[in-house]
Structure 1
Amino acid sequence: MIIVNRYPFIVLFFLMMDKSFAQFPQGDKWYQNPLGFEPLKLHTSMGFIVPAAVAGTALLLTKKDSTLRDRLSIYSEMGVTFGYKYPYSTLVQNSTGVNLMMRKWMSIGSEFSTTAPFDDYNNTVGFAIRPFARFYALNKPDWKLWFEAGGGMIYFIDNFPKPTTQDNRLGTYWNGTTKYGIGTSIHLKNNMDLLFGARHLHISNGNTKGAERNPAHDSNGLFAGLSWNLKKERNGKYK
């Protein structure tokens, strides 16, 4: 059981160590998009496919943990990421979501986010829905440490990104969005935890309208927020 429980981390470790196949997107440095190399590419649609496949396989191959209690939580967080490609867009995000523990070392969830990118060319707002999976390296009552990845869809009220002096392509209203990163939670009091961490954010339309309409966006940044655990009373109702 221990081997199965650590499987996601073992796989990610060896993929990150295998530099001979670490082909990053053109123009990216490894530290800008550390899990963007072949074949992992968590900044693309693989950022949804890989965690979904790992979570689904784990649920099929491992037994349900009957000792898990208070499995459901809700959270709200604020984050900011900074683009590392021209025009170096800054994106401010507010996200509200739910997280459900499936195993002591894994959870699944979904969030709704409002995203506001701005730079010399862009100033718009987007609305996103993103399912995700978390894999816990540490899961203690007072402290948790996890890796998270997931992807969904985002709609901007204006085309994003806009053409620039270095790239004349016009983005689209509808895009895909993926996020991956590390996070931690520290128990504060009662059923409330403090959340914070770092993540990579990618936005593009996957060439659905051709490469000439897919300038894309990549950025890195930080987030912080609060989580509330929905503890159950004896009668089965949530507090």
Structure 2
Amino acid sequence: MKPHRHFLLFLHLVCFYTAAHAQYPIGDNWYQNPMGFEPVKLHTSMGFIVPAAAVGTCLLLTRNDTTLVKKLNLYNESGFSWGYKYPYTFVAQNSTGINFMLRKWMSAGVEFIAFLPKDKYNSTAGIAIRPFARFYPVNKENYRIYFESGGGFIYFFDEFPQPASHDGRLGTYFNGITKYGIGAEIKFTQNAYIMLGLRHVHVSNGNSKGVERNPSHDSNGFFIGFSYTP
């Protein structure tokens, strides 16, 4: 590559980094929410819209894979995430879902989530339903690696989040929930896989009650579980 092209590439990367970093709220860092910058915003409703549009487009523009077998799998996973904004809410989660392979490199599914946030001000539980899409850059016989994003709805038994010393706003019972992240499935029997990965979690009501009732929650964490192909 010629020297001036090196310089142009460097300049492009610097400009991209600066623009992306500037699109985060004050106090947030890009590495805490790497896909949260404009216009991607996979931590909001775009976390559902973008994957849904991608799946629909791919189904229209690619041929059905007639060699694909055992398309359906069931899974259960547990995970933990830690809020990176005050009051640094810890969240335990358990998800049970179904995942259907649409192509060897793409699937879609839906999961039901038990969501348990806890901190100095919050101690409640929520139940959620979340459609999602997964894209597999690696899909081998014994292991596969995927990127996942999806968004749905969650109901809390108490209003969440509760007012805190750094943010006096009160959340709501009914919110949206989005997750995105990377994961892997490692085969350990003929029909079963161990699952593990990292995710970003976002909860907010999209200002449905006004910005004064939308303090929101963001956290990062990991999950582990298993999947089974009937």
**TM-score (norm: length of structure 2):** 0.92
CA deviations 1:119-144 (Å, max 9, x no partner) are 00000000000000000010011010
Question: Map of 1:92-103 to 2, 5 A cutoff?
Answer: 92-103=92-103
1:217 pairs with 2:217: yes
Distance in 2 (alpha carbons) for counterparts of 1:163 and 1:171: 8
Identify if the C-alpha distance between structure 1 residues 51 and 25 changes in structure 2 by more than 3 Å, giving closer, same or farther: farther
The secondary structure found in structure 1 opposite 2:31 is coil
SS of the residue 2:50 aligns to? helix
- The answer (yes or no) to whether the contact 1:175–1:205 under 8 Å persists in 2 is yes
How many residue pairs match? The answer is 216
Q: In structure 2, the residue corresponding to 1:49 is in which secondary structure? A: helix
- Between the aligned partners of 2:120 and 2:161, the Cα distance in structure 1 is 11
In 1, Cα distance between the equivalents of 2:76 and 2:193?
11
Partner of 2:51, secondary structure, is helix
Quote the residue 1:21 is aligned against. 19
Which residue number in structure 1 is paired with residue 169 of structure 2?
A: 169
SS of residue in 2 equivalent to 1:87 = coil
Alpha carbons 1:25, 1:37 under 8 Å: kept = no
The answer (yes or no) to whether the contact 1:25–1:36 under 8 Å persists in 2 is no
Aligned partner of residue 41 in structure 2, secondary structure? coil
1:130 aligned partner: 130
The Cα RMSD (Å) is 1.4
How many percent identity over aligned positions? 60
Unaligned regions of 5+ residues in structure 1, if any? 1-13, 231-239
Corresponding position: 1:206 with 2:206: yes
Q: Where does residue 10 of structure 1 map in the other structure? A: none
C-alpha distance in structure 1 between counterparts of 2:80 and 2:138, whole Å: 25
1:152 Cα offset (Å):
0.1
Structure 2, unaligned stretches of length 5 or more?
A: 1-11
Q: Which residue of 1 aligns with 2:5?
A: none
User: Residue 180 of structure 1 contacts residue 200 of structure 1 at CA under 8 Å; is this kept in 2?
Assistant: yes
Question: Aligned equivalents of 1:65 and 1:26: distance in 2?
Answer: 46
The answer for the alignment partner of 2:62 in structure 1 is 62
Report the 3-state secondary structure (helix = DSSP H, G, I; strand = E; otherwise coil) of the residue aligned with 2:66. coil
- Provide the rounded CA distance (Å) in 1 between the counterparts of 2:190 and 2:62: 31
Compute the displacement of 1:24 (Å): 2.1
**3-state SS in 1 of match to 2:30:** coil
In the alignment, which residue of structure 1 is the partner of 2:84?
Answer: 84
Q: 4+ residue stretches of structure 1 with deviation over 6 A?
A: none
Q: Is structure 2 residue 113 aligned with structure 1 residue 120?
A: no
Describe the superposition over 1:60-86 as per-residue Cα deviations: whole angstroms up to 9, x where unpaired: 000000010000000000000000000
**Which residue in the other structure is 1:43 paired with?**
43
Cα deviation 1:83-126 (Å, max 9, x = unaligned):
00000000000000000000010000000000000000000000
In 2, Cα distance between equivalents of 1:207 and 1:25? 16
1:59 deviates by 0.3
Partner AA of 1:171 in structure 2: G
Instruction: Give yes or no for contact 1:90–1:118 (8 Å, CA) kept in 2.
Output: yes
Q: Distance in 1 between matches of 2:86 and 2:17?
A: 27
